[in-house]
Amino acid sequence: MDDLRDKYIDLIADAADEAGLEDIRVAAVGKKGEVALKMRELGKMTPEERQVAGPALNALKDEINSALTAKKAALADAALDARLRSEWLDVTLPTRPQRRGTIHPISQVTEEVTAIFAEMGFSVAEGPRIDTDWYNFDALNIPGHHPARAEMDTFYMHRADGDNRPPHVLRTHTSPVQIRSMEATGAPTRIICPGGVYRADYDQTHTPMFHQVEGLAIDRDISMANLKWVLEEFVKSYFEVDGVDLRFRASHFPFTEPSAEVDIRCSWEGGTLKVGEGDDWLEILGSGMVHPKVLEAGGIDPAEWQGFAFGMGIDRIAMLKYGVPDLRAFFDSDLRWLRHYGFAALDVPTLHGGLSR
Ligand code: PHE
């Protein structure tokens, strides 16, 4: 037994890797290993002999097993050390002198808007950019013959012959998400939905794809006053000033009653766009009290609940805050423009840490 012990303890000490160690384990304490063979001989012994040999064999088995475990851990440590040595790198080396990417102003502004509304208790909802005309129009009280369908210069999805699915459109506004979130959560609710929308339109302040943020608040006693306060608070926080001139203009949307459009005072002097001064106004949003038919389409009882909604142009308010006179530049992917107007990747906008710096 001592010979066995010395043999295996030496072999274990000399094992070069885990595979070698496993071979030793099988040969020593495996089912057909040397220790097992010895144990089989116990049957041929006298009871007195067995009383001595039994515990001794068990002790031998334990000793070999602990030596195996210890060696296995040592080999793993050594392997890790070797790997750390081979993967060493000098973290003090300077980075490569490449241009780093920047955060696009639209992404930055979306984060800023989200941070402000989150502080007011709004959560973020989402919906598909390709939606059925029911969500985009009918559910929002815009029936088939309604002129608003034509006014919005809708992109319709092509349909193959025999395709019986309901017609789909590129959503013309984020308002379909009003319906989707009413369906998802019922009332009361408070959500915003930032995202891309599409209309066939192209000039200095219009592009075929642009961004809106929808707002929706539904509760038992929500009024136009709540809408006005929320929007004024938003504008102050967003432009990081104490006051901005806003103009609420009576307007009409099929999905709100009453409705108002909101313009913001600005000037375009010398080709630069400045907010808060001058004699020009730029429309930034449409809003109003949610139409009872829209609440009904979203499965909410208009006798019990009411709410306000608004849809704001993210690109518009980005132009105003960051002095971008031509909307089309947002989508040109001109690297020089992106470097100039882009934001550092690690500056996440928060109300306490600062929205834009
Ligand atoms: N969906 C409207 C638009 O795109 C904006 C709006 C949203 C108006 C919600 C009222 C309420 O012009």
Mean pLDDT score, 88-111: 86
Q: Other CB atoms closer than 10 Å to residue 352's CB: what's the count?
A: 6
Mean pLDDT score, 29-46: 90
Give 191's strand partners: 123, 216
Answer whether residue 296 is part of any domain.
Answer: yes
The answer on pLDDT for 97 being more than 80 is: no
Q: What is the pTM of this model?
A: 0.71
Q: What is d(CA 43, CA 39) in angstroms, rounded to the nearest whole number?
A: 8
173 close to ligand 1 (CB < 6 Angstrom): yes
* Ligand 1 nearest atom to the CA of residue 197, by list position: 4
Mean pLDDT score, 94-122: 89
Domain range enclosing 80: 2-86
In this structure, the answer to whether residues 282 and 311 fall within a common structural domain is yes
Query: Which of 170, 173, 262, 289 gets mutated to test ligand 1 (max ligand atoms within 8 A of its CB)?
Result: 173
- Whose CA is closest to atom 12 on ligand 1? 286
Q: Which of 66-75, 147-156, 334-343 has the lowest mean pLDDT?
A: 147-156
* Ligand 1 nearest atom to the CA of residue 173, by list position: 4
Tell me whether strands 123-124 and 256-267 are parallel, antiparallel or unpaired: unpaired
* Ligand 1 nearest atom to the CA of residue 261, by list position: 8
In this structure, the answer to whether residues 42 and 136 fall within a common structural domain is no
In this structure, the answer to whether residues 43 and 140 fall within a common structural domain is no
Q: What is d(CA 343, CA 104) in angstroms, rounded to the nearest whole number?
A: 7
The residue among 325 and 254 whose pLDDT is bigger is 254
* pLDDT for the residue numbered 357: 58
Per the CB < 8 A criterion, the answer to whether 198 and 170 are in contact is yes
In this structure, the answer to whether residues 132 and 33 fall within a common structural domain is no
- Between the CA of 345 and the centroid of ligand 1 the distance, in Å, is 31
310 close to ligand 1 (CB < 6 Angstrom): yes
Q: Which of 1-10, 239-248, 283-292 has the lowest mean pLDDT?
A: 239-248
- Between the CA of 7 and the centroid of ligand 1 the distance, in Å, is 85
Q: What is d(CA 126, CA 30) in angstroms, rounded to the nearest whole number?
A: 60
Answer whether residue 80 is part of any domain.
Answer: yes
* pLDDT for the residue numbered 166: 85
Q: Which of 22-31, 205-214, 240-249 has the lowest mean pLDDT?
A: 240-249
Q: Other CB atoms closer than 10 Å to residue 200's CB: what's the count?
A: 12
Query: Which of 255, 257, 306 gets mutated to test ligand 1 (max ligand atoms within 8 A of its CB)?
Result: 255
- Between the CA of 165 and the centroid of ligand 1 the distance, in Å, is 27
In this structure, the answer to whether residues 129 and 189 fall within a common structural domain is yes
190 close to ligand 1 (CB < 6 Angstrom): no
178 close to ligand 1 (CB < 6 Angstrom): no
Q: What is d(CA 188, CA 182) in angstroms, rounded to the nearest whole number?
A: 9
Number of domains making up the chain: 2
Binning pLDDT at 50, 70 and 90, where does residue 352 land? Answer: confident
Mean pLDDT score, 288-305: 98
Angle, vertex CA 265, rays to CA 259 and CA 269, nearest 5? 140
In this structure, the answer to whether residues 137 and 172 fall within a common structural domain is yes
The answer on pLDDT for 150 being more than 90 is: no
Show the beta-strand stretches assigned E in the chain: 123-124, 130-132, 168-170, 189-198, 209-219, 246-253, 256-267, 274-275, 280-290, 306-313
Give 206's strand partners: 203
Tell me whether strands 189-198 and 123-124 are parallel, antiparallel or unpaired: parallel
Per the CB < 8 A criterion, the answer to whether 222 and 308 are in contact is yes
Answer whether residue 99 is part of any domain.
Answer: no
